[in-house]
Structure 1
Amino acid sequence: MITPAFDLTQDPDSLIISIRVPYTRTSEFDLYIDGTEFKFYAKPYFLRLNLPGRIVEDGREKAKFDIDQGLFTIHVPKQTPGENFEGLKMLTSLLVPKGSRSAGPLVEDMSRGSEEVGDGEEFDEEFDWQVEQELYRESSEEELRALQKYGFGNQRCGVFARLQEELSDVIDLKNPEGTSVAERRQHRLEAETAAFSADHYLADLFEDDEIKGILKFKPWWAKLRPSTENEAKYDVSFSSEEKEQLRKFTNRSYLLDKTSRHQAWCSLLDILLAYVYDVRLTEGEHSVESPWTIRKLSGTLCWLETYGSLQEVLVSFGRRVLCYPLHRHFALVSAAIQDATKILQAGKACVLKCLLDVHKVFRENDPAYILNDLYITDYCIWIQRVKSKKVPALAAALEKATLNKSDLNLELKELEEAATMVVEEEAQGSSERTSASQRDSSSSEEWDSDDCTEAVEEGNGGGGKASKDSPPQPHSTSSIVPIPHKSSSLLFSEESRNTDAPSSAQEEERTQLIQELGERVAEELRISPEPSSAAAAGGGTSGNHNVGTPLDVNPCRNPLVIVQTEEEVESKEGDSTS
């Protein structure tokens, strides 16, 4: 806690307490009045006074705040009107907590006390839990001149010297009072490089469904209608809350040199870029993360940075968008630049409305309200007094400016090329694996089809078309007996012509022999079916090698072998007789 600078005066009926609390939230402060004790709290300031007289809280107390000087003036009624409070100028004694005016013993026996006090025992004296306070000392002009400048127009210094507890929650710069402008930029670039995540960037680059939805959103400045007034191009209206906030601002004049004015315009653009990014990201409804997002994306608010050109602003904003927020895509950087251009083209009224929205976001956040006192409040007052042609001129310069990925010095092109090669290799490997699996499945289907065909051919007894792998096997020569080319009747007729005319007895015997031979042939020979029917039964074609001749020879002995000539019969009979 910080003990603020204070002063006490009195009149016959009341005690007047003046407390200087710059850079505090005036909407939230607490007062405690109880007899001779007075307490005041407005984060980060705390004041406790032990008064020489009694005061009361009966509804007559009143307070006012001077925002320019950061001064609270509180009137508290005296319990006894007309009473004179002595020692109001003894500020150090007024800070002493109640009950601490009596001095304790100068020498204390610590060994004796340690023996008497054991675990679980209480001290004889009541422990004083009051917060220690030190009288605030204003810095001299020489000390202030030695400190680094920051804030609107680089006109502030020494602010964070008294706000050490809030420092880390507001800005990323560790020692703003002793860090030069060049050192701030160097520290900022190093922090951005360390915070950049290639995996996060590539994930948003290749999985950009949410990014596309954010880019399709149309913010309120994209819906502005042309105005009939000559002063502005678009009709910008303010809500009752915004008008009330404008009435609370104190009219100030700012004496800025040329360099400070140029830096003020650059910082204004930096703040606008961070604001439009948050509006697009939240679709026009600020969230609890909005104070963090706006100040984090703005180098002006987060690092107390000062810029010398528009290109420096764009590069800083682009780097911070790709390093810190949830969605890190270069298309969001381009969209924010276009949004800021439209706002500037709409005139200073549109810029003022954006600044009032930022002021409200920071006003409702505990640590970020300090940035209102350093930057936003001054910008809200200053933008109303600038010439109207300055804002469109900045818009024209921003519209001509270009920002490429190579300008950010984050090696984005190399990352994207490497990631694209990896994706293509994975896609190619996946397609090769798919085609290989398809070939394996088709070959297995062909093998299954061939196996089925062979099984069918074997089941049909060799019918059908002959397979190249299994040509038809020839019949065994032992089961085949050659059939004479001439019929038996012709054979007998030729034999009869070579012999003499037979007798009648021989003729009967020959006829009987022929009949017996015919019967035996009929019994021994099998008539095969026609080739067409055989082909139909076997599932083959007429040119099949397995189709038999009209007379299939039975494996049994051929009866035609017994046919003998008459001379052979006689010679056999003679041999048997002899």
Structure 2
Amino acid sequence: MITPAFELTQDPDFLTVIIRVPYARASEFDVYFEGEDFKFYAKPYFLRLTLPGRIVEDGREKASYDADKGTFTIRLPKETPGQYFEGLDMLTSLLAPKKSRSAKPLVEEIAASAELSEEEEEEFDWEVEQTLYEKNAESTLPLQYRYGFGNLRSGVFQRLQDELSDVIDVKDPDQTPADERTRKRLAAEAAKFDPDHYLADFFEDETIQHVLKYKPWWVDAHKKMVALQGESHQEHDTRTFVTFSEEEREQLRKFTNKSYLLDKRSRHHAYLGLIDILLAYCYEIRVNEGDKNVESSWNIRKLSATLCWLENFTSIHNVLISFGRRVLCYPLHRHFGLVIRAVSDAVMILQLGKAAVLKCLLDIHKIFMESEPAYILNDLFITDYCIWIQKTKTKKLAALSASLQETALTKSHIGFELEELEAAAVLVQEEERMLKAAGTVSKQQLLSSESETSETEESSSTSSSETEGSDSDEPESSTSEDEKINSLQDTLQEERTAPLIDCNGLRQGTNTSMFELGDEKSKVSLQSTSVPGKLIEELEKQMHTAIRLAEQTEDLATASCVLQEQEENHVSEPDRCSKDTSGNGNFLEVPSKTNPLLLLCSTKEDED
């Protein structure tokens, strides 16, 4: 017999069952319904449902058949008008048979009833009770350790050694206890953490900021739910927030419904493992902006310690720490902001109820089915989660989301000294910025200094060219200075032989006098009688220039010293100075046997 595709909808008074049977004969079908039971048969299709509410046969029921679509539509009146039937989209749970009276199912149903009674508690402590480790406890442990959903599996990886390394990170899980898995996981994460990668994503986070702005489908659904919180029957409108595609409904129909015998500790592990898997899924959806790729399967199972290390968590805080550490160690984008945003996404999914959680689990199931080695994780975890979550109470998930929202996670909890790394990196950045700024200022000062030096050199070159008329090469400077002295001596000799009025070098019968310093380019025209003060000032300037030129070279300075000594020894005082009778000033004429030099003593008539 084939289980047909079906769908259930409701209004305040009727429950509608839509059954797709394209190869059945419309004239040959049977429908039976009473209380919570519904049965449909049309060869080769058979459908049996256990409804979440009671229906009644009172003459208002109606059935129709669409030959083009091959669907039966059956409307059944509710026993209590206005009653809301919860979980009509949980198709796998609807396929559950009625309670059996046999011995084995009786034990399973009693366990299930005990679990449901536990679910009814409003207050729930998510912290698992822990006991001290005892050395002699090892002898009482089983030879093979358990793992999987509710720790119901063991010995699976003994026959899957080839696929083991591609699916999980723990080696030999059947012989590795849970506490040792945790220690090895923490050591592997500590060895994998890369501070450079983390700091690169921390400072250059343009891509990550773009990813953080992405809005998955549950964001809009959550906004709609919050907007309708004040309205009546808002908890009944889950289907308006979360809808399943035909492909997802087909997945649900393929699951085999079963009950799970879980004790309190196993239920805690199941809920905490669910949070861990949802966090990894939220990260994957956000960083890829809803698109799937070849790395999607790897991302989900790598970020979830439940899937990758078969971890059994004891608290929500431990789940968050594990997820945060793995986000900062393994994927491409390693940013703490992605961890916080994934937690926020998981809270919204849990607040939307089990329909939203189931939709995420179905997507994970599909991703793993398309990855060759990851299908093993479907058999170990995801398929059982898809079946189990359909029987979970909505208020239980609401309490779980509240506990998740209240649990704080900071960078100091991660254990990689993230705050210290960031502070050190900021200091290094500040120092580099200051050094760069100082280098820029120094470069500007250097350029300014070079510019000033260049201008000074050009000015000095021009001045030297105008006053000396000599080359700038240093080896020729000594010869140039000797030529200047000889030229000055020739000028003195010429002025002695020329017709003079006095020793100033002023010619008779002329108004001007030319004073030469051996350089034809440097000639000064002076007024002879009209401006005596300017003549003295110009002569002083020329003499200062000559003195500076003499000081520039060591040879000239030595010659000047020798000349002064000769003057003091061989020239008498009256010969040194001849008084100017014209009233323009006094000139000192110092004769020398070898190198006569003209010196100027500019004194005014009123000075002694």
Class of the TM-score when normalised by the shorter of the 2 chains: 0.5 to 0.7
* Alpha-carbon distance in 2 for matches of 1:296, 1:202: 21
* 1:214 equivalent among 211, 214, 219: 211
Q: How does 1:382-531 map to 2 (within 5 A)?
A: 382-454=388-460, 523-526=509-512
AA aligned to 1:194 is A
Deviation at 1:523, TM superposition (A): 3.0
**Matched residue SS, 2:157:** coil
CA contact (8 A) 1:148 1:179 kept: yes
- Report Cα offsets for 1:536-570 as digits up to 9, x if no partner: x99xxxxx999448999xxxx99999xxxxxxxxx
**Matched residue SS, 2:509:** helix
CA contact (8 A) 2:507 2:513 kept: no
Deviation at 1:176, TM superposition (A): 1.1
Are residues 1:182 and 2:183 paired? no
* 1:355 equivalent among 352, 361, 364: 361
Deviation at 1:231, TM superposition (A): 3.0
Are residues 1:150 and 2:147 paired? yes
* Alpha-carbon distance in 1 for matches of 2:513, 2:532: 19
Deviation at 1:265, TM superposition (A): 0.8
Are residues 1:313 and 2:328 paired? no
Are residues 1:202 and 2:208 paired? no
CA contact (8 A) 1:524 1:559 kept: no
* Alpha-carbon distance in 1 for matches of 2:165, 2:224: 44
Counting aligned pairs with the same residue, the percent is 51
Are residues 1:173 and 2:179 paired? no
**Matched residue SS, 1:287:** coil
**Matched residue SS, 1:523:** coil
AA aligned to 1:368 is A
* Alpha-carbon distance in 2 for matches of 1:558, 1:551: 20
Deviation at 1:429, TM superposition (A): 2.1
* Alpha-carbon distance in 2 for matches of 1:545, 1:453: 31
Deviation at 1:397, TM superposition (A): 1.2
Q: Cα distance 1:272–1:560, how it changes in 2: closer, same or farther (>3 A)?
A: closer
**Matched residue SS, 2:399:** helix
CA contact (8 A) 2:192 2:329 kept: yes
- Report Cα offsets for 1:337-376 as digits up to 9, x if no partner: 1111111122211111110000000011111011111111
Q: Cα distance 1:546–1:159, how it changes in 2: closer, same or farther (>3 A)?
A: farther
* Alpha-carbon distance in 2 for matches of 1:237, 1:345: 15
Deviation at 1:146, TM superposition (A): 3.6
* Alpha-carbon distance in 2 for matches of 1:316, 1:426: 35
**Matched residue SS, 1:226:** helix
Q: Cα distance 1:550–1:178, how it changes in 2: closer, same or farther (>3 A)?
A: closer
CA contact (8 A) 1:525 1:551 kept: no
* Alpha-carbon distance in 2 for matches of 1:327, 1:247: 37
AA aligned to 1:235 is F
Deviation at 1:424, TM superposition (A): 2.3
Say which structure is richer in helix: 2
Q: Cα distance 1:426–1:170, how it changes in 2: closer, same or farther (>3 A)?
A: same
CA contact (8 A) 1:211 1:327 kept: yes
Q: Cα distance 1:280–1:559, how it changes in 2: closer, same or farther (>3 A)?
A: closer
Deviation at 1:206, TM superposition (A): 2.1
Are residues 1:298 and 2:304 paired? yes
AA aligned to 2:190 is T
Q: Cα distance 1:546–1:317, how it changes in 2: closer, same or farther (>3 A)?
A: farther
* Alpha-carbon distance in 1 for matches of 2:281, 2:264: 26
Deviation at 1:325, TM superposition (A): 0.9
**Matched residue SS, 1:349:** helix
Give the TM-score taking structure 2 as reference length: 0.53
AA aligned to 1:157 is S
Deviation at 1:148, TM superposition (A): 1.0
Are residues 1:191 and 2:188 paired? yes
Deviation at 1:294, TM superposition (A): 0.4
Task: Provide the residue aligned with 2:588 in structure 1.
Answer: none
Deviation at 1:184, TM superposition (A): 1.0
**Matched residue SS, 1:391:** helix
AA aligned to 1:382 is W
* Alpha-carbon distance in 1 for matches of 2:538, 2:413: 99
**Matched residue SS, 1:418:** helix
AA aligned to 2:454 is D
Q: Cα distance 1:458–1:394, how it changes in 2: closer, same or farther (>3 A)?
A: same
Task: Provide the residue aligned with 1:160 in structure 2.
Answer: 157
- Report Cα offsets for 1:13-55 as digits up to 9, x if no partner: xxxxxxxxxxxxxxxxxxxxxxxxxxxxxxxxxxxxxxxxxxx
Deviation at 1:427, TM superposition (A): 2.2
* 1:339 equivalent among 345, 362, 374: 345
AA aligned to 1:300 is T
Root mean square deviation of aligned Cα: 3.7
**Matched residue SS, 1:524:** coil
Q: How does 1:58-77 map to 2 (within 5 A)?
A: none
Tell me which structure has the larger Cα radius of gyration: 1
Task: Provide the residue aligned with 1:230 in structure 2.
Answer: 235
* Alpha-carbon distance in 1 for matches of 2:287, 2:303: 13
Q: Which runs of 5+ in 1 are unaligned?
A: 1-66, 68-142, 463-474, 484-519, 529-536, 539-543, 562-578
Deviation at 1:172, TM superposition (A): 0.9
* Alpha-carbon distance in 1 for matches of 2:464, 2:219: 82
Task: Provide the residue aligned with 2:273 in structure 1.
Answer: 267
* Alpha-carbon distance in 2 for matches of 1:560, 1:302: 118
**Matched residue SS, 2:293:** coil
* Alpha-carbon distance in 2 for matches of 1:217, 1:551: 86
* Alpha-carbon distance in 1 for matches of 2:205, 2:533: 71
CA contact (8 A) 1:527 1:551 kept: no
- Report Cα offsets for 1:399-444 as digits up to 9, x if no partner: 1111111111112222223322322222222222221111111111
Q: Cα distance 1:524–1:241, how it changes in 2: closer, same or farther (>3 A)?
A: same
CA contact (8 A) 1:144 1:158 kept: no
Q: Cα distance 1:164–1:527, how it changes in 2: closer, same or farther (>3 A)?
A: closer
AA aligned to 2:383 is T
Q: Cα distance 1:456–1:363, how it changes in 2: closer, same or farther (>3 A)?
A: same
Are residues 1:368 and 2:374 paired? yes
* Alpha-carbon distance in 2 for matches of 1:410, 1:274: 20
